[in-house]
Amino acid sequence: MAKEPELVIRKAVATDAEAVLNLLTMLKTESTTFEDSSDDVDSATESEQIKQISMSTQQVILLAVRDDELVGLVTILPTADSSTGEIGVAVLKQYWHHGIGRELMLTALDWAALSSSFQVISLTVQLRNKHAVKLYEDIGFQTVKTTQVTTSTGEVVEASEMQLAVK
């Protein structure tokens, strides 16, 4: 009987830069909910950014690795409100509904509770992404505002801003 590949969630390190850029490129082709500005970033720049983030208590990049392949990531970044961080998660489509997004979210929220100064973690989710909305509600996020967002294809859709207190 074949052994199920092990999923590892770990912090990104500088040597992950090229693999992270490749993952981001793939993620952009699979979803209109994913925002990324890595098009103008080369491996050396990404490596330096990951190095800076890894030394911060205000931001984190965690990677989901399965059989030495990056299959997803989660970030927490600071917002204009110093007590609030914004979380974003993305998983390759072939791995959707396998619990990887949940594991990434929970690991990132643990980091926020234990290693950051954030009191609250926020996110914005398109309401049509029912699986994501359910995941976030199951974790404990609560809707604070309904709004509209513009997708990467220029479509305007309904969305919820959600928050979770981590401290």
In-domain check, residue 149: yes
In-domain check, residue 130: yes
In-domain check, residue 2: no
What does the pLDDT look like over 136-145, one tens digit per residue?
999 999 999 9
In-domain check, residue 22: yes
Half-sphere exposure of 158 (CA within 13 A, CB side): 8
Q: What is the mean pLDDT of the chain?
A: 92
In-domain check, residue 141: yes
Asked if residue 40 has pLDDT above 80, the reply is no
Q: Comparing 45 with 153, which gets the higher pLDDT? A: 45
The domain that holds 145 is classified in CATH as 3.40.630.30
Asked if residue 36 has pLDDT above 80, the reply is no
In-domain check, residue 1: no
- The percent of residues above 90 in pLDDT, for the chain, comes to 80
Q: Distance between CA atoms of 109 and 25, rounded to whole angstroms? A: 25
Structural domain boundaries, residue 130: 7-165
Q: Distance between CA atoms of 26 and 35, rounded to whole angstroms? A: 12
Q: How many domains does the chain have?
A: 1
Name the pLDDT band for 37 (thresholds 50, 70, 90): low
Q: Comparing 2 with 154, which gets the higher pLDDT? A: 154
Which of these, 82, 80, 21, lies nearest to 49 by C-alpha position? Answer: 21
In-domain check, residue 82: yes
